[in-house]
Structure 1
């Protein structure tokens, strides 16, 4: 091959424009992107793991430091739950530190303020510190440290006992700052209890107070705070329970005790507005709740009651006998009356809507109390006083009956020789009387002159009794 031909061939090869195609370039870029994303994800995960490990190590150190702090406290009763978490910022990260405590009886098992069914005495206090932080990878696994605190001196004398007091509200949360005391129960034959020599501390943030080294015997334990009332609604400002203390064990006294709610009532709301409706001067109101029923005399002022979250249904009359709580008066309850069919219309009884109040506050609206209302014509010659006596179940009226006898008076109201008065009474069957005193039943009022108010149904029974029927068209 001549030099000339070789030169020409090399010149043609040098001018060749062939190279990578667009598809090849796109494929290469895609592969590079996938690899880059994987590398970036791995680097990011590694950084997150490093940061989380660093934060967890910090959290564990914070928990351990809190454990060291509580171990330095000389009085184990001063170490309690923290109501809210404490926030600490370390390295730009906010950590949340909380502490929970509980007594550990020797036989094991936790209870309110360290109590358990076995009546074991207090031995050690368990302290648990939990730390969480912002940006945790696994929020279900906080940093935790715990310890057991042993008292510096003996809590329990083996020849004596302990009273554990727990105070909480209707929502189950603890109540702090409640004064506590205990005295030997009077009237107990052979009671060996002795007066306390040290005043117990107020309840702590866990609602607990501890009465230590108590002489065995029977004690009345009382909690006190102005304006508070227990769930039995007995005494405003205090509540008492009786416990027996045995040698070498603990006794528990738990109180549901909270700032009383205030409940007012509007009477005879179902009747047409009538000026001068008379209600008994000694009328009872029954406050029904899911936890019990309570009787209070009606007054124009608000009534202080335990602030149950479900509230109270208020009925006129004595629904529960104040002496025998198992004896009730169903006639006062509209829902206790069976439905009745008149033509194509069903008549049913309905309870008033329950009213609720927050602790220490008044209910936003008064209880709407329904009653039977009638107008009667009276003669002063039969006496100036108007009195009413409840009757047992009436005949064929659907009245569910009332074994509780109620005697209500309207006072001295008859002033004219012939006078009409409008009276409001609880549901059920009644006999009305005139007489010379607030208890007189000398002259029975005939039902021939009785006229029901709009919104009230009455049934005139034999013997001049009258039944107030709460059922209305559904």
Structure 2
């Protein structure tokens, strides 16, 4: 029995010793790998310091194998200048760091180099090895007597777009009174973050185009900016440009919230009210918009002088539906809009019905009936006062979120 107990004690002590030795060997190996990773990061930064031109420094990821262990070196290159203000995302709740130069009169730029090294079997406790530095140019980025344009493009949350998704074209801007723009060859560069150097002083047009369907916050498909280049200085053009998102536009009854099953005017506009502007769209079940955390509202009707475009602008303000956030490609929300219905009778033989506001400020509405033989037809009407003409009859209706007013005969 004593021999068995002694053997058990010995086994326990031996197991602990083996575990301790194994742990120590792992720590030694991890320390060796980590030192090798630090060396690789330092060597990569030294390579970048040896590059004569800042514009030739590129982001890169590559593998290095040392003593059977594979190390992954990930180099990230970004432009830096004195920070003069954040790029705010759409909702205004924060800021985004820029990988492009900021607007500044200085023409000397700095490149930030960040090298991250990982390796096979890396301990999750220690993490990757990262080394950072700034590398400055020996002189200005432009030739004497020229300037440069910096193009920055961000998505709706203040992040740079993928370099392959957007293209910027820089060409001399037209001169007022001149039939043709001045001589010059358009220069096309990636629109994500580019510096176009050695430009002769003068006005230039910077235009964006994208592989996919992109929109600006004001729903421009191909935005442009005109800038003036001066010798020895840089000027930045900053765009916000993102993939469009489709929202579902649904007409609902103000009293019950149920969808309307009424005939819509074929030429009715939908006013899409966003954080940056109001955009008019033709009547449709789905509408493309720029992503916005602050969201969108839709009002039936439209026109800059048409009060139907926004009930909040009526003499007696009415409340519209709250804004619906639109934040990602998978988010295709329903954005409801209100209106009122009128059920017209004695329509047999009438194929077209028209509606016009008495003041003539709103565009006329045209209702085309699918079956003119039917004696009745419900119509969907935007809020406001409308003279509805059908056949030889004209009735005046007033609609608001709280209900419809009494029917009157048209005064004109």
TM-score under structure 2 length normalisation: 0.71
Match of 1:135 in 2: 122
Which structure would you say has the larger Rg?
A: 1
TM superposition shift of 1:99: 1.9
Structure 2 gap segments, 5+ residues each: 86-96
Match of 1:100 in 2: 76
One of 119, 125, 132 as aligned partner of 2:105 = 119
Match of 1:425 in 2: 381
Structure 2: distance between partners of 1:72 and 1:201: 26
Relative to 1, partners in 2 of residues 1:127 and 1:248: Cα closer, same or farther, differing over 3 Å?
A: same
Q: Is the 8 A contact 1:101 1:128 kept in 2?
A: yes
Match of 1:371 in 2: 339
Counterpart mapping for 1:75-474 below 5 A: 76-82=54-60, 86=62, 90-91=66-67, 93=69, 95-105=71-81, 112-133=98-119, 134-136=121-123, 139=126, 142-144=129-131, 146=133, 148=135, 150=137, 155-171=141-157, 172-177=159-164, 178-186=166-174, 196-197=184-185, 199-203=187-191, 207-236=192-221, 238-268=222-252, 270=257, 274=261, 277-299=262-284, 302-308=286-292, 312-318=296-302, 322=304, 329-331=310-312, 337=318, 350-351=321-322, 358=329, 364=332, 367-377=335-345, 385-389=353-357, 405-411=361-367, 419-426=375-382, 428-434=383-389, 444-446=394-396, 458-461=403-406
Relative to 1, partners in 2 of residues 1:372 and 1:271: Cα closer, same or farther, differing over 3 Å?
A: farther
TM superposition shift of 1:328: 6.9
Structure 2: distance between partners of 1:307 and 1:268: 24
Relative to 1, partners in 2 of residues 1:328 and 1:252: Cα closer, same or farther, differing over 3 Å?
A: farther
C-alpha offsets along residues 27-78 of structure 1, whole Å, 9 cap, x if unaligned?
A: xx99x99998997787566534422321122102321343355456676434
SS of match in other structure, 1:280: coil
TM-score under structure 1 length normalisation: 0.63
Structure 1 gap segments, 5+ residues each: 1-21, 339-348, 392-403, 437-441, 466-474
Structure 1: distance between partners of 2:344 and 2:220: 40
Q: How many residues align?
A: 385
